[in-house]
């Protein structure tokens, strides 16, 4: 290894066990006199409230109702124009939360988001944050709007990691009236990791969005929207005790595809028709530990990755869509991505456990994958251990190993996130990679300092990746390049003007210098963007970017951008963008028009057109992309989705249709999907274009069975 990484890795791993005790919850929650820690008391519900959004149950008459939210934006610390009241109750198995929301611009909430886990930042919506262990670092969150749409997830590292794919079977109902709207939430305690013992205080916060005024407000004031360390106290809760439980999720999938799929373990198979079965066993091992055992898990991706225009020479990152990898995924979120689950193919069996033990968060994953095509059978293991220090800060250790016949790839990493204040954070990571076959061990490292005031953010970072690091790690991770020292400085934010026709000014600045281990200057990039919002819902923006990059020769790529948009803060919006400049010794122009509309309360439409042209275009890379999608929600758990895309470059026409019914949300569901993909490709003789058509009909049924 060119740099001595092993010793720092071992030292930081040792510090996990000998680090000084974390500050007490009260010490970590110190506030200035301007923003003292607020508290709200949960009252016991002897009779559970009816979850209908009406707030007429007797428990809400006796509840500790609180209001006086504080603006996060546009006027930090100001009194919100959209007033909100909240209350909390509990019984032996659930937390109940009530919101009363007032609409200053009229009775209609104008909510538009109907898809589960949609973007509530664009809606008249509320969010509950629960820090069950009072770590001031990790929490669960639950969001809804006046339509009763559900969004849930987990936040880690005091806002540095956000796992929106986490789901649990909670209940919500909303109701509009002449003054605004109200909602009730019912959250099962068994789905969250909770501490044992009497008199426990949980961290809590509440959020309200009001897009008509660009307004976001919190019950406990926050400088940064996801900063969990800036939360209040939830008092009055009993000692919840979670017992052992086990739930089996068997599934069957029927697939009719042309051409036939490959590598899938089937119950029945004939030509392109297959019947696939498997199961997940989810275990609740007490208050704070979960487990999962899976056999032949359903990793069929019924929605293909749509074409993405990539004007760089680096690999495109696609997010994970398979459910098995999503539980605890936030713990594996690193600046240097050493675990990329999409490297893992079809799996015979898998074992996972994750949870919290004292001041430690942990996750362990193991999976055996079978031979698929040219990829040999392999065994993958991933281990993550993270320890709280100094209140909301943490240090951690990660190990990932993938072994196949005749080889292996192993990666070790240590990391730290230090929150010096609610606004200032430093992150660091050291990585060592160890290939098989006598390959040379290589290393990488990074450090990043961020100052974030909520409306403005400044970041200075440095990372280095030794030559050969990318090839070593990409068996298990996602690394786009190596042989580089990388120094970056970024700034961005928004300035609220609110004078005349002007509303706000947004800006960002990004500067980057990269040089290789041989001292050669590989990349210099200087760029910035500025946008102005005016008349409430109109936006114009402009950017200029200069970049020089060394590949087979030094290339100078400079671009300019102009854009305009209507109603960008809401679902119903239109945007037009044009980018032009130099790209690898070619001139290019790229134009994109997109829009999203809700012609009916339950119907959402979105469309986009992108036109890309090069001059000269000797390899025929110019293209036109057309996207169209429609979502119709009969209820939040019963919907129909249609998506299509056409790519003129390879004459690809892709169609995707999905009918979904979550009869026992979030996991008990019936899905019926159909995909059709037609495109052209170069034949094996490399002298003519041939057409290809793929289609698939996919039916999946999952029925949860409580077995203990």
Q: pTM (2 decimals)?
A: 0.81
Residue 82 near residue 215 (C-beta atoms within 8 A): yes
pLDDT above 80 for 682: no
Q: Is the peptide bond before 2 cis (omega within 30 degrees of 0)?
A: no
Query: Residue 378 in contact with residue 402, Cβ under 8 Å?
Result: yes
> What's the pLDDT at 618?
87
Taking only the tens place, the pLDDT of each residue in 641-668 is 999 999 998 888 889 898 999 898 888 8
* Model confidence at 629: pLDDT above 90: yes
* Contact (Cβ atoms closer than 8 angstroms) between residue 661 and residue 645: no
The confidence band for 21, taking pLDDT boundaries of 50, 70 and 90, is very low
End-to-end CA distance of the chain: 51
In this prediction, residues 71-92 reach a mean pLDDT of 94
Segment 246-275 shows an average pLDDT of: 79
Sign of the CA dihedral 418, 423, 424, 426?
A: positive
56 has a pLDDT exceeding 90: yes
**Strands 393-404 and 407-419, sheet pairing:** antiparallel
pLDDT band at 437 (very low <50, low <70, confident <90, very high): confident
Q: Return the pLDDT at 243.
A: 76
Can you list the positions of beta strands (E) in 570-683?
A: 573-582, 587-600, 603-615, 623-635, 638-647, 652-664, 668-682
Both tokens of 485, joined, read 């020292």
Given this model, what pLDDT does residue 9 score? Answer: 41
Q: What are the C-alpha distances in Å from 511 to residues 223, 424, 453, 522, 526?
A: 25, 20, 20, 14, 5
Q: How far is CA 79 from CA 61, 84, 217, 493, in A?
A: 26, 11, 9, 22
C-alpha separations of 136 from 30, 76, 354 in Å: 11, 21, 20
The structure tokens 């262990």 sit at 133
Contact of 255 with 265, CB cutoff 8 Å? no
pLDDT at 325 over 90: no
Q: Which residues contact 377 (CB under 8 A, 6 or more apart)?
A: 368, 369, 370, 371, 404, 405
More confident: 374 or 52: 52
DSSP per position, 242-255:
PPPEEEEEEEEEEE
Task: Give the 3-state secondary structure of 453-480.
Answer: CCCEEEEEEEEEECCCHHHHHCCCCCCC
pLDDT in tens, 600-622: 878 889 999 999 999 999 888 89
pLDDT score of 316: 47
3-state helix/strand/coil string of 308-328: CCCCCCCCCCCCCCCHHHCCC
Q: Compute the residue count for the chain.
A: 708
Q: Count CA within 13 A, CB hemisphere, residue 416.
A: 19
Q: What is the DSSP string of 524-549?
A: EEEEEEEEEEETTTEEEEEEEEEEEE
Q: Does the structure show a pLDDT above 60 at 27?
A: no
Reported as a single tens digit per residue, the pLDDT across 522-560 is 999 999 999 999 998 899 999 999 998 877 778 888 899
Query: How much is the pLDDT for 257?
Result: 75
Sign of CA dihedral 318, 324, 325, 327: positive
Per-residue confidence (pLDDT) for residue 11, from 0 to 100: 40
């Amino acid at each position: 290894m060119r740099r001595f990484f092993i010793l720092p890795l071992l030292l930081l791993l040792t510090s996990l066990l000998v680090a000084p005790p974390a500050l007490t919850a009260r010490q970590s929650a110190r506030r200035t006199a301007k923003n003292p820690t607020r508290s709200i008391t949960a009252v016991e519900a002897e009779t559970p409230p009816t979850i209908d959004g009406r707030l007429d149950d007797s428990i809400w008459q006796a509840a500790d109702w609180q209001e006086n939210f504080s603006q996060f934006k546009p006027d930090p610390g100001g009194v919100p124009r959209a007033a909100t009241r909240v209350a909390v109750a509990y019984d032996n198995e659930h937390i109940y939360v009530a919101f009363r929301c007032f609409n200053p611009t009229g009775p209609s909430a104008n909510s538009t988001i109907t898809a589960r886990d949609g973007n509530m930042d664009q809606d008249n919506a509320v969010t509950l944050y629960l820090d069950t262990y009072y770590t001031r670092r990790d929490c669960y969150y639950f969001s809804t709007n006046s339509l009763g749409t559900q969004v849930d997830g987990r936040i880690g590292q005091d806002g540095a990691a956000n796992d929106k794919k986490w789901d649990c079977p909670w209940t919500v109902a909303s109701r509009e009236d002449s003054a605004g709207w109200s909602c009730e939430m019912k959250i099962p305690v068994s789905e969250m990791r909770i501490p044992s013992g009497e008199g426990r205080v949980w961290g809590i916060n509440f959020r309200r969005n009001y897009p008509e005024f660009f307004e976001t407000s919190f019950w406990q004031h926050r400088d940064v929207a996801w900063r969990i360390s800036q939360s209040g106290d939830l008092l009055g809760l009993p000692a919840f005790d979670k017992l052992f439980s086990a739930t089996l999720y068997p599934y069957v999938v029927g697939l009719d595809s042309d051409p036939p799929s490959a590598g899938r373990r089937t119950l029945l198979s004939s030509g392109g028709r297959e019947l696939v079965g498997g199961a997940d066993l989810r275990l609740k091992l007490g208050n704070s530990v979960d487990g999962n055992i899976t056999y032949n898990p359903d990793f069929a991706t019924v929605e293909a990755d749509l074409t993405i225009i990539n004007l760089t020479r680096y690999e495109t990152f696609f997010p994970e869509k398979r459910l098995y990898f999503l539980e605890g995924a936030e713990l594996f979120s690193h600046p240097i991505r050493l675990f990329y689950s999409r490297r893992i193919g079809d799996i015979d069996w898998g074992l996972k456990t994750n949870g919290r033990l004292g001041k430690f968060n942990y996750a362990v994953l193991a999976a055996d994958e079978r031979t698929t095509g040219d990829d040999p059978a392999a065994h993958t293991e991933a281990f993550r251990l993270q320890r709280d220090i100094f209140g909301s800060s943490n240090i951690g250790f990660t190990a990932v190993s993938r072994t196949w016949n005749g080889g292996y790839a192993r990666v070790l990493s240590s990391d730290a996130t230090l929150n010096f204040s609610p606004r200032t954070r430093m992150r660091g990571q050291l990585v060592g990679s160890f290939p098989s076959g006598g390959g040379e061990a290589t290393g990488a490292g990074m450090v990043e300092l961020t100052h974030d005031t909520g409306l403005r953010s400044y970041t200075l970072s440095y990372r280095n990746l030794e030559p050969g690091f990318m090839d070593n790690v990409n068996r298990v991770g996602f690394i786009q390049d190596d042989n580089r020292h990388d120094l970056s400085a970024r700034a961005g934010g928004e300035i609220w003007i609110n004078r005349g026709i002007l509303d706000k000014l947004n800006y960002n600045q990004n500067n980057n210098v990269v040089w290789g281990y041989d001292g050669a200057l590989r990349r210099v990039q200087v760029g910035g963007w500025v946008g102005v919002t005016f008349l409430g819902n109109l936006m114009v923006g402009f950017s200029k970017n200069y970049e020089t990059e060394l590949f087979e020769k030094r290339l100078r790529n400079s671009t300019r951008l102009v854009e305009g948009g209507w109603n960008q803060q809401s679902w119903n919006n239109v945007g037009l963008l044009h980018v032009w400049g130099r790209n690898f010794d070619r001139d290019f122009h790229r134009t994109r028009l997109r829009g999203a509309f809700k012609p009916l309360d339950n119907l959402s439409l979105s469309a986009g057109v992108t036109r890309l042209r090069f001059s000269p275009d000797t390899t025929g890379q110019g293209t036109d992309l057309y996207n169209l999608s429609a979502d119709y929600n009969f209820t939040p758990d019963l919907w129909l989705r249609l998506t299509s895309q056409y790519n003129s470059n390879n004459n690809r026409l892709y169609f995707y249709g999905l009918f979904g019914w979550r009869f026992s949300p979030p996991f008990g569901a019936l899905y019926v999907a159909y995909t059709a993909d037609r495109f052209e490709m170069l034949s094996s003789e490399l002298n003519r274009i041939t057409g290809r058509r793929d289609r698939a009909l996919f039916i999946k049924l999952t029925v949860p069975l409580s077995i203990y």
